Amino acid sequence: MTENIPQNYDPSKYDRPSVTVDVVIFSLVDEDLQVLLIKRKFAPFADMWAIPGGFVRMTESLEEAAIRELAEETGVTDVYMEQLYSFGRPNRDPRTRVITIAYFALVPHDVIQHRPGDDAAETGWFSMFDLPELAFDHREILEYALTRLRYKLEYTAVGFRLLPDIFTLSELQRAYEIILSEKLDKRNFRRKILASDILEETGKKKRDGEGRPAKLYNYKEDAVAEVKTRRLFP
Amino acid sequence: MTENIPQNYDPSKYDRPSVTVDVVIFSLVDEDLQVLLIKRKFAPFADMWAIPGGFVRMTESLEEAAIRELAEETGVTDVYMEQLYSFGRPNRDPRTRVITIAYFALVPHDVIQHRPGDDAAETGWFSMFDLPELAFDHREILEYALTRLRYKLEYTAVGFRLLPDIFTLSELQRAYEIILSEKLDKRNFRRKILASDILEETGKKKRDGEGRPAKLYNYKEDAVAEVKTRRLFP
DNA sequence: ACAAAAGTGTTGAGAGTACACCCATGC
DNA sequence: GCATGGGTGTACTCTCAACACTTTTGT
C-alpha cells in the first residue's frame, strides 16, 4: 500500500526527501550520439557538468515535470520520452536526501532551440562516448540510459525519433550504427526496417551533394510505440 | 542535473512530496499466480486492499526500503526483486502528494512466513486474475507488474524464482503456463529451458503420488540475472 | 495390468546472416 | 566518364513450431 507503517499516520509527518526529475536528452550531432548537459554554478559539484533536471512541483505529474524540464532546455515538447529508472542512494546529493526519477528523451537535432536564457546556465552537448566528469551519480545514470537506448533499438524501432521528420534509410542506418557502435549490413537493415512496416515513402527524394538521390521516408503516425518484434539486430 | 532551477536554491526549501516504496509480492499459490495485499484500516480507502509498502526512510536506499518492506510482510529477504516503475500522479493519494517507487518481488511460496504481527494489518493472497477493489492507483500498478513479469518470462528465465530451491521441469512449465495464461508445448519448453543452461540436475528425484518420478533441478548460482536470449516463448 | 506423469526426436517453415553488383545523379 | 552514395537478391544456416509415443513408477 502507499503508506501504512502504521496506516493512520499522516504522511506529512514523516521526514520527506526532495524529489527531482532528471532528463537524459539524447540527440545525434555530427555523426555522434550526444547528450545535453548543464554546467553547475554552485556547490556541490560547482563547475561540473550535470544532467538537466529539477524539482517535481506539487501539482504536476512526474512525466509533466520531465516534459517541462525538457522544454526548458530545448524548447521542444513532442519527442519520444520514457521513464528510465529512479535513483535514491541516500548520499547521492551531499546536501540532503534527493531522490531522482530519471527520464530519457530522443530529440531530433534540427528541432532543438538553443536557449541560453531561462536559468542562464551554460549548456553543452557531449559525446556519450567521451563524457566529462559529472556531478552526483550522473555518470551512472547516463550509462544506464545508454544501455537502455541500445536495448530498445534492438527490439523496437525508435531510432528514427532521433532524426528529422523525413529521412533516408541510410541516415537511419547510420543512426543505428552510431548508437550501437557496430556496423550493420545495408541490405539486411533495409529489409528488416521495411518489414517492420512503420515507415512509409514520402515520394520525395533527397538531392544534395553527390551520388544517387535517396528516397525520403517518414514514420507512420499510427505506428505503435512498442513495436513488438524480435530483436531487430543480432 | 539533480537540482538547478536555480542551482543555488537549497533543496530543502522546496515543498516536498512524500515518497514511498510499494512492493508487488508475487507467489504461486494453489496453481495460481497470487499477490500479497494488505487491508487498510484507516481512511482514505479504509477496508480496501492495497499493495504493501511504506515510507522511504531518510537513511536507506530505495532498494533497501523495498527489501525492508518485503521482509516485514513475508520474513523473506533473498528473493528476486527489481524496480518496476515510479508512479506520481498528483492526486493518487487524496491526502497529500505521494510519489511511490514500485518494486516487484518473486517469492517461492514455501519460504513465506506468515506474520500477522508487526503492524498487525490483515494480509491476504489474491489471484492476479481476480483482484479485489484496490486502494489508490494500485490496480494500475499491479497490472503493470503483471505485464512486466510476463514480458520478462518471455526473454529471460526468472520463472524459477517463484519455485522452491529444487523443482521439476513440469513444475517450472506449470509456473510459466499459469503466469502467461497459455499452454506450452512440453518438448519445446524443456529444450529451450535446458538450452539456456541455467539449470542443473540435482541427481535427486521427486517421488510423490503417482507417475514416474521426475528429476529435480536447481538453478546455477552463477547464472547471470539477465539471461540475454531471444524470447523464450512465442 | 493399468493409471499417471516423465521423458524424448523429427520435420517443415520462416527468420537471420553473409555476401557483390548495378543504378542514378553531380561534376 | 567517373566518383559518389543509393538500391537490390539469393543461398545457407539456424531457430521455431507442431506433433505422439515410450518409460518409469505406484497401486
| pLDDT the model gives residue B107 | 97
Q: List C-alpha distances in Å: A219 to A76, A156, A224.
A: 19, 13, 11
pLDDT at residue A80 greater than cutoff 50: yes
- Helical segments of chain A, H only: 62-74, 138-155, 169-180, 186-195
> Do the Cβ atoms of A86 and B83 come within 8 Å?
yes
Q: DSSP letter at B56?
A: P
Domain with CATH 1.10.10.10 in chain A: 156-219
Report if CB A187 to strand D is under 7 Å: yes
Class of the CATH domain delimited by A156-219: mainly alpha
Please give the protein residue whose CA is closest to the C1' of the nucleotide C25.
Answer: A212
Higher pLDDT: B6 or B99? It is B99
A104-131 pLDDT per residue, tens: 999 999 999 876 555 557 999 999 999 9
* B155/A81: higher pLDDT: A81
- The CA distance from B95 to A8, in Å, is 12
Whether A190 sits with its Cβ under 7 A from any strand D atom: the answer reads: yes
Q: What is the pTM of this model?
A: 0.91
Q: Identify the architecture of domain B13-153 in CATH.
A: Alpha-Beta Complex (3.90)
Residue pointed to by grid coordinates 523495498: B66
pLDDT digits (tens, 9 = 90+) for A196-214: 888 999 999 998 878 999 9
Return the pLDDT at A62.
98
pLDDT digits (tens, 9 = 90+) for B24-79: 999 999 999 999 999 999 889 999 999 999 999 999 999 999 999 999 999 999 99
Give me the mean pLDDT over the B124-137 stretch: 98
What is the reported pLDDT for B1?
Answer: 47
Q: Which chain A residue lies closest to B37 (C-alpha atoms)?
A: A1
Size of interface A-B (CB pairs under 8 A): 184
Q: Kindly compute the dihedral angle of the four CA atoms of residues B93, B98, B99, B104, in this order, to the nearest 10 degrees.
A: -60
pLDDT of residue A226: 44
Q: For residue B2, give the nearest of A128, A122, A69, A133 by alpha carbon.
A: A69
CA torsion, ordered A176, A179, A181, A182, to nearest 10 deg? -10
Q: Which nucleotides of D are covered by protein (CB under 7 A)?
A: 3-10, 15-20, 23-27
- Chain A positions touching B100 (Cβ under 8 A) are 2
Residue A122 catalytic?
yes
Q: Which residue is nearest to nucleotide C8 (CA to C1')?
A: B187
What share of chain B in percent tops pLDDT 90?
A: 76
Per the CB < 8 Å rule, is A5 touching B119? Answer: yes
Spacing of C-alpha A132 from chain mean position: 18
Check whether B226 has a pLDDT greater than 80.
no
Alpha carbon distance A156, A169 (integer Å): 16
Average pLDDT over residues A57-80: 96
Per-residue flag: B192 CB under 7 A of strand D: yes
Judge whether residue A5 has pLDDT over 80. Answer: no
Question: How many CA atoms within 13 Å lie on the side-chain side of A10?
Answer: 4
The per-residue pLDDT for A148 is 95
Question: Does B1 contact A40 at a Cβ distance shorter than 8 Å?
Answer: yes
The single-letter code of the amino acid at B196 is: S
Band (pLDDT 50/70/90 cuts) for residue B10 is: low
CA closest to C1' of C9 belongs to B187
Domain with CATH 3.90.79.10 in chain A: 13-153
pLDDT above 50 for A229: no
Q: Which residues on chain B are in Cβ contact (under 8 Å) with A18?
A: 3, 11-12, 14, 16
